[in-house]
């Protein structure tokens, strides 16, 4: 199964636009706060690094059993690019598909429910295209991301990967 992972999506306040190279400079600025890396490690990307990352992600996964969906979040009220959501979809022989979700909202826009709204919009889309399982890996001390996962219906499992807890939900099928 190759779900549609490059279509624009829309929520009440956001336009989720497929990531493209032209988003790199604005995304660099939106994600410039080093505090965004407390749980994930690393540091904010330079404009050059972000351009290379956007080009690589927009090109798609080199693994035929995996598909990448990456959307930037455009807040319609002020046209600001505020962050992104991601889905890595893995298809199994049994046609059961799993999507690993990730979300990041820049510091100036946090606390407004934008990450939950964007992730819920993405999850609704993934459910509609037949994804059967949603997963997120969340650092045990990242309480904001845990609240988002919980709002999406994901629940923590006993499994960890690289020190992060695997959250999971079986999705209703249309």
Give bridge partners of residue 105 from the DSSP assignment.
83
Which of 3-7, 19-23, 86-90, 101-105 is least confident? 3-7
User: How many other β-carbons are positioned within 10 Å of the β-carbon of residue 121?
Assistant: 20
Average the pLDDT over 21-25 and give the result: 95
Instruction: Give the integer Cα–Cα distance in Å for 59 and 128.
Output: 24
Q: Are the CB atoms for 53 and 31 separated by under 8 Å? A: no
pTM: 0.94
pLDDT of 46 over the 60 cut? yes
Tell me the CB-side half-sphere exposure of residue 130, using CA atoms within 13 A.
Answer: 11
Joined tokens for residue 45: 């990307």
Instruction: Give the integer Cα–Cα distance in Å for 60 and 83.
Output: 19
Predicted confidence at residue 40, as pLDDT, reads 84
Q: ∠ CA(150), CA(151), CA(152), 5° rounding?
A: 90
Instruction: Give the integer Cα–Cα distance in Å for 86 and 60.
Output: 12
Average the pLDDT over 98-102 and give the result: 96
Q: Are the CB atoms for 48 and 159 separated by under 8 Å? A: no
Predicted confidence at residue 1, as pLDDT, reads 47
Q: Are the CB atoms for 141 and 39 separated by under 8 Å? A: yes
Residues in the chain: 174
79 torsion bin: left (phi>0), alpha (psi -120 to 50), beta (else):
left
Q: What is the pLDDT of residues 107-162, one digit of tens each?
A: 999 999 999 999 999 999 999 988 999 999 999 999 999 999 999 999 999 999 99
Predicted confidence at residue 116, as pLDDT, reads 98
Q: Name the one residue in this structure whose structure tokens are 């996962």.
A: 149
């Amino acid at each position: 199964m190759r779900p549609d992972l490059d279509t624009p999506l829309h929520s009440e306040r956001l336009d989720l636009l497929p990531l493209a190279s032209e988003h790199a400079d604005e995304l660099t600025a939106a994600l410039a706060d080093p505090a965004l890396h407390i749980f994930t490690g690393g540091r904010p990307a330079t404009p050059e690094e972000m351009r290379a990352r956007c080009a690589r992600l927009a090109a798609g996964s080199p693994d035929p059993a995996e598909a990448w969906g990456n959307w930037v979040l455009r807040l319609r009220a002020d046209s600001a690019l505020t962050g992104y959501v991601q889905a890595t979809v893995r298809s199994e022989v049994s046609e059961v598909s799993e999507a690993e979700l990730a979300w990041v909202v820049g510091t100036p826009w946090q606390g407004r429910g934008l990450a939950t709204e964007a992730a819920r919009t993405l999850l609704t889309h993934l459910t509609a295209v037949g994804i059967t399982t949603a997963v997120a890996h969340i650092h045990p001390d990242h309480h904001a991301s845990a609240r988002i996962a919980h709002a999406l219906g994901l629940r923590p499992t006993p499994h960890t990967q690289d020190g992060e807890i695997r959250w999971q939900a079986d999705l209703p099928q249309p």
